[in-house]
Structure 1
């Protein structure tokens, strides 16, 4: 299902851990890597849907991702301190990755500064797992134009010509809209759909 108009959100806080980690990888390389396959989950036939429609699931995913970015931003703004705040917005692989990024920030004395925006590009899938939780996968574009990565001395670590429209597949899980958390955030390594 393709949304007629991408939704754009701007966070007026300093950075996001995953975006900053992406900057670390992309600032030096300046390009997106080789293609990787994306598994498509198989919905359980006996599961009752958590959301009445794809539109409702998409709106819930947007709100949950916005919460995720806000908390992640607070953590990177603080140089990775108090990473336990991430537990409120992330689980699984996403939580593990965010905590690892926060630890790198602390160890290296780096932090983010600026504004991050994101666009929800499309809905990939929505289903209810065997535990009765919704599993929503979306395509998201993080816009890094307003985001800086700063060394301990305050100098920018961002390479000229870096990729600023970074594509991700994001999976969210939860029993309802209020309980959705980001469970996976993977860099999309095929053609950059954010540039379309």
Structure 2
């Protein structure tokens, strides 16, 4: 079933302006799987525990979501801060979605929050870190409005939106969202 344009824009806004050209999800992925550390047993661990890795992910993604909502609350006009919290495809998607919001004369009003459904993978080596998790964006408190201030959100919109998110960087304090892909199978956020 196609996603209506207003609903796509709402999803874009909450996901730090999710781009409308989404890449596919792996059919083999299972949102209930546990983290699979892949760092060498000989190397000193980057994270002392799974909780430390999850905490680093939460901090990175939380900053990303906040910056994304700031951009969309401003109508997509100022995207400068996104490069501090996003890189790669996620940054490109955010910039594209912000451009589309501006072109459509739309902006968001409110806030979004998130929860981590589960961590799929932690890949930490001496020179790079990548953490992949299944995330639920909660957009109940985020409205999409037009130039006149009228809400354009569909009454039946999904407000708990599932994503696969990858944060990456060279050091735990330097993690940025590198990829954010809408989960198009069963919504694990509603389970």
- Calculate the TM-score normalised by the size of structure 2: 0.79
Change (3 A) 1:42 1:66: closer
Q: In the alignment, is residue 120 of structure 1 matched against residue 116 of structure 2?
A: yes
Provide the C-alpha distance between the structure 1 equivalents of 2:178 and 2:28, rounded to a whole number of angstroms.
15
Which of 49, 57, 68 is matched with 1:61 structurally?
57
CA contact (8 A) 1:21 1:101 kept: yes
1:151-194 deviation line (CA, Å, top 9, x unaligned): 12211110111111111110000122210100000111111111
Aligned with 2:107 (options 108, 111, 116): 111
2:175 aligned with 1:175: no
Count of residues in correspondence between the two structures: 172
1:189 is aligned to 184
Q: Which moved more, 1:54-63 or 1:42-51?
A: 42-51
Show the counterpart of 2:153.
158
Partners of 1:37 and 1:191 in 2: how far apart?
A: 12
* 8 A contact 1:143–1:165 mirrored in 2: yes
Give the Cα separation in 2 of the matches to 1:125 and 1:118. 19
Deviation track 1:115-160 (CA, whole Å, cap 9, x = no partner) reads 212111111110126x821100011101111111011221111011
2:68 matched to 1:72?
yes
Q: What displacement does 1:21 show?
A: 4.8
**RMSD of the TM alignment (CA)?**
2.8
Residue 97 of structure 2 aligns with which residue? 101
Residue 8 (structure 1) aligns with = none
4+ residue stretches of structure 1 with deviation over 6 A?
A: 39-42
* TM-score normalized by the length of structure 1: 0.77
